[in-house]
Amino acid sequence: MTTTSPLLRVRDLTKHFPVKGGALFARETGHVRAVDGVSFDLHAGEALGVVGESGCGKSTTGRLTLRLIEPTSGTVEFGGHNVLALGKAELRQMRRSMQIVFQDPQASLDPRMTVEEIVTEPLVVQGDLRGESRTKKARELLDLVGLPVAHISRYPHEFSGGQRQRIGIARALAPGPKLIVCDEPVSALDVSVQAQIVNLLSDLQKELGLAYLFIAHDLAVVRHLCQRVAVMYLGRIVEIGTVGDLFAKPQHPYTRMLLASVPAAHPRLRRTQAIPRGDVPSALNPPTGCHFHPRCAFATDKCRVEAPRPRETSPGYVVACHYAGELGESK
Amino acid sequence: MADLALTLFPANARRTGRKLLRNRAFVAGAFLVTLVFLAIVLAPLIAQYEPNRMQIRMRFRPPSSEFWFGTDNLGRDMFARVLYGGRLSIEIGFWVVMLNAVFGVTLGALAGYFRALDNPLMRLSDALMAFPSVLLAIGIAAILGPSTSTAVIALAVVYIPRTARILRASVLVVRELDYVHASRAAGAGDWHILWRHILPNCMAPLLVQLSFVFAYAVLSEAVLSFLGLGAPPTVPSWGILISEGRSYIREAWWLTVVPGIAIAVTVLGLNLLGDGLRDVLDPRMKIQQE
C-alpha cells in the first residue's frame, strides 16, 4: 500500500432501505440493511474488486459511492472532497471524475438515441459540447474502445452484446473520469466476449490511469483485472487485501468457501471440503453476532453473540473474523 | 398514422413500418379512418346539395340514386348532412385527444417521476375514474351548459385520468432503467432525464391510448349531443342527427340508421387502428386495456 492519500475513501457507509406496509398511510415496518458499515480505500490507478453472493450489497455500495442513491450514514471522500456534502452544481462537476458501467448493456443504452448521442451525452449534459465537435468527440471515443467509427449514427439494437458494452464504456470515458464503478460489466456477456471486455478495461486502466471499483461475482475475472479484492457478505466487508494474498491464503471462512466453490478445470484439483452450505440469510433480519455464523464450520458461541470487528492482520490486509489467523487449513 | 410511427420510432422505423403493414387490424383500421377523413374533408366536392338547403317537396325521400342517404323531414339531403356533421364529431374528438396528450402526459409524467406527487395526483384521478365515464361527462356538460367547448372539456376531463395512469405506469418502468441511472451519473438534471429519456420511451403506449381516446370521444360526443348537451350548431353533429331522426324512426329509418353507421364505422376504424398499433408497438399492454 502506498502512503499517499487515496483517491476514494469510504468510511462506515450504510444504507437501510425502509420496508413499508399498509396501502394509503404506509408505515415503516422494518428495514433492509443493504450496506452495513462498509469502509475501504481506493488509490488512483488501482482496481479494487468487490465480490460476494447475490444480494450482499455489492451493487448498492457502488451506487452509494457515486451518490446515485443517498446513503443512510457514513462518508465518501473523493479526491479530498466529501461527496455527500456537495451541493447540486458541485456534485454535477464532481460527476465528471466518477462514472459507471452497468451490467446489462441492453438496458443501459437508450434505444431512441444514436451511438453518437449516447457516448457524448455526459459532455452535453455538462455543457461542454454541441454541434460538430460532438461528432468529432464521438469518433475519438469509439476509436478508444475499439468500435468502428463508421457506426456512429446507428442505434443500440444494431449491435451485439459485447459491442453495446463497449458503447457503455465509451460513454463512461467521455468526461475523462478518474474512477469508474464497473457494476458486473461482463456478467451478462458470452464467455468469449467477456475476455475481450476485460482486456479492454485492463488496457484502458494502464493507458488512462483509471481506478476501478470492479463489482463482480466471477472470481477469475477479478483475479485477472484487479490489484486488490474486497469480499462482501450481507452488507459488510469480511475480508479485504491484495489479490495475491487473498487468493493464496484466504483467512475468513466465507472467503474460503467462495474460493472453494469455483469449479476446478481438472478433476484431480477438485476439492470437496468446504462446500457451501445453506442460503444467504435475509438482510431484513440478519443473524446475531457474526452474520456468517449459521453457515460457518468454525462458529463458536462467541461468533453467535459478538460481531467481529475488522482487524488488520498484516499491513493493508483486513479481516472481520474472531479467529482470523488462528484457523488452520479448511477442514 | 404509419408516418407518425416512423417519426416516433426512428430506431426501428423500417421494421415497425413493415410490421404495421402486415398487421390486418391496423391496415383495416387505417383504411376506414382514412375513408372517413377523406369523405369529411372533401364533403363540399362530394355532396351535391348544401346540408341546410330545404326542399319541402322532397321530404322523407328514402335512399335513392339522387339522394344517396335519403332526405329528412324538411327535405334536406342526408348525405350532405352526415358528411358535414362528421366534421364536428371529428373536430371534437381531435381536441379531446390534444388535451389528453398535453394534460395526461404532464400529470402522468409528474406522478410517475416525482414520487411525492404520486399519491395526491393518483387519488384525484381515482376519484374521477370512479364515475361511469358518460355520466361524468353528462354532469360536467350539464353544469357548463351546452356548447362545443363544453363537450370538449367534459370529455377531456373524463379521459385524462386514464391517459395519465397509463403514462405513469410506463414512466415507473423506464425511470428505473440503467440508461436513466447512467444519465444521472453523468450529471443530468430531472428535466433533461424526463424530456430526453423517459418521455420518448413512453411514446408507444401513449400513442395506442390516444387512438382509443379518439374513438371513445367520438362515441361519447354522440351521446352528449343526442341528450342535447353537446353543441347546438347550424350544422349538427352525428349525435344530433340521430336525436332529430328519432321522432320519425317509423316513417324514415334512414334518418337514424345512416348517422349511426357513420359513428360505428369511425369508431370501429379507430379501435382497429389502436389494436394494431398496440400489437405491434407494445404487446405487453394487451391485458391492461379496459
Q: What is the pLDDT of residues A201-247, one digit of tens each?
A: 999 999 999 999 999 988 889 999 999 999 999 999 999 999 999 99
For chain A, positions 71-90, list CB contacts with chain B under 8 A. none
Residue A177 identity (one-letter amino acid): P
Residues 17-56 of A with CB under 8 A from B: 24
- Asked whether residue B214 carries a pLDDT value surpassing 90, the answer given is yes
Chain B residues whose beta carbon lies within 8 Å of the beta carbon of residue A99: 185-186
Mean pLDDT of chain A: 88
Q: Quick one: pLDDT band at residue A173, thresholds 50, 70, 90?
A: very high
Q: Please state the separation of Cα B192 from the chain's center in Å.
A: 30
pLDDT tens for B107-126 read 999 999 998 999 999 999 99
User: Across the interface, do A95 and B187 touch by the CB < 8 Å criterion?
Assistant: yes
Residue B11: predicted pLDDT? 53
Chain-chain contact of A100 with B182 (C-beta, under 8 angstroms): yes
Q: Report the residue of chain A nearest B188, measured CA to CA.
A: A125
- Distance in angstroms (rounded) separating the CA atoms of residues A148 and A127: 26
Nearest to A188 by CA among B113, B178, B230, B203: B178
Average pLDDT over residues B224-251: 82
pLDDT for residue A14 is more than 80 = yes
B28-86 pLDDT, tens digit per residue, is 999 999 999 999 999 888 888 888 888 888 888 888 888 888 888 888 899 999 998 88
Which residues of chain A does B181 touch, with a Cβ-Cβ cutoff of 8 Å?
Answer: 63, 68, 100, 102, 108
SS3 content of chain A, % helix, strand, coil (to 5): 35, 25, 45
Is the dihedral angle over the CA atoms B18, B23, B25, B28 positive or is it negative? positive
In a domain, A109, yes or no: no
Whether the Cβ atoms of residue A65 and residue A50 lie closer than 8 Å to each other? no
Cell 398499433 -> residue: B277
Distance in angstroms (rounded) separating the CA atoms of residues A209 and A123 = 20
Contacts of A136 (CB under 8 A, 6+ apart): none
- Tens of pLDDT, residue by residue over B85-106, are 888 889 999 999 999 999 999 9
Residue B11 has φ and ψ, to the nearest 5°, of: -60, -45
Q: What is the mean pLDDT of residues B3-31?
A: 75
pLDDT, residue A26, reads: 67
Residue A149 phi, psi dihedral angles, 5° rounding: -60, -25
If pLDDT is split at 50, 70 and 90, which confidence band does A331 have?
very low
Q: Which residue has the higher pLDDT, A15 or B235?
A: A15
How far off is chain A from B108, nearest CA to CA, in Å? 19
What's the pLDDT score for residue B288? 44
In a domain, A327, yes or no: no
For residue range B121-163, list pLDDT tens digits in order: 999 999 999 988 888 988 998 898 888 888 899 999 999 999 9
A contacts of B177 (beta carbons < 8 Å): 107-108
Q: Is A171 within 8 Å of B187 when comparing Cβ atoms? A: no
Question: What is the pLDDT averaged over residues B274-287?
Answer: 72
Q: How far is A171 from chain B (nearest CA, A)?
A: 9
Reported as a single tens digit per residue, the pLDDT across A58-117 is 999 999 999 999 999 999 999 989 999 999 999 999 999 999 999 998 899 998 899 999
Q: Do A107 and B11 touch (CB under 8 A)?
A: no
Assigned domain for A199 exists: yes
Q: What is the pLDDT of residue B5?
A: 47
Portion of chain B with pLDDT greater than 90, in percent: 48
Provide the pLDDT for residue A25: 66
> A102–B181: do the CB atoms touch at under 8 Å?
yes
Contact between A126 and B11 using a beta-carbon 8 Å cutoff: no
**Residue in A92, A108, A112 nearest the CB of B187:** A92
Could you read off the pLDDT of A264-322 as tens digits, one per residue? 666 666 555 555 567 777 777 888 889 898 888 888 888 888 889 898 888 889 999 99
- Is A125 a member of any domain? no
For residue B188, which residues of chain A lie inside 8 Å, CB to CB? 121, 125
List, as ranges, residues 92-151 from A with C-beta within 8 Å of B. 92-93, 95-96, 98-100, 102-104, 107-112, 121-122, 125-126
The count of CB pairs under 8 A between chains A and B is 70
Is residue A308 in a domain?
A: yes
Name every chain B residue with its beta carbon within 8 A of the beta carbon of A104: 178
CA distances from A262 to A52, A230, A234, B113 (A): 13, 17, 20, 42
Angle at B82 between CA B78 and CA B86, to 5 degrees: 170
Please tell me which of the candidates A66, A96, A109 has its beta carbon nearest to residue B179: A109
pLDDT band at residue B287 under the 50/70/90 scheme: very low
pLDDT higher at B184 or A295: B184
Share of chain B above pLDDT 70, in %: 91
Task: Please state whether the predicted TM-score (pTM) of the whole model is above 0.80.
Answer: yes
What's the mean pLDDT when you consider all of chain B?
A: 87
What is the 3-class SS of B141-197, one letter each residue?
HHHHCCCHHHHHHHHHHHHHHHHHHHHHHHHHHHCCCHHHHHHHHCCCCHHHHHHHH
d(CA B137, CA B227): 11
pLDDT in tens, A101-159: 999 988 999 988 999 999 999 999 998 877 778 889 999 999 999 999 999 989 898 89
CA distances for B176 relative to A59, A300, B198, angstroms? 14, 43, 10
Residue A45 has what DSSP assignment?
Answer: T
Judge whether A142 lies within some domain: no
The answer to whether position A240 is within a domain reads yes
Using CB atoms within 10 Å of the CB of residue B248, give its burial: 0 to 12 exposed, 13 to 18 middle, 19+ buried: middle
Instruction: Indicate whether B284 pLDDT > 70.
Output: no
**DSSP symbols for A183-216:** ESTTTTS-HHHHHHHHHHHHHHHHHHT-EEEEE-
Domain that holds residue A210: 8-97+177-319
Q: How many CA atoms lie within 13 A of B149 on its CB side?
A: 1
In a domain, A134, yes or no: no
Domain count, chain A: 1
Instruction: Name the residue in chain A with its Cα closest to that of B120.
Output: A24
Please report which confidence band the pLDDT of residue A169 belongs to, taking 50, 70 and 90 as the band edges.
Answer: very high
Alpha-carbon distance of B103 to B116, in angstroms, equals 19
Q: Secondary structure of chain B: what % helix, strand, coil (to 5)?
A: 75, 0, 25
- CB-CB neighbors (< 8 A) of B178 in chain A: 102-104, 107-108
Distance (Å, whole) CA A330 – CA A251: 10
Residues of chain B found within 8 Å of residue A24, distances taken between Cβ atoms: 119
| Residue B6: band (very low, low, confident or very high) from pLDDT cuts 50, 70, 90 | very low
Contact A114, A155 (CB under 8 A): yes
In chain B, at which residue ranges do the beta strands (DSSP E only) sit? none
Residue A307's domain is classified under what CATH number? 3.40.50.300
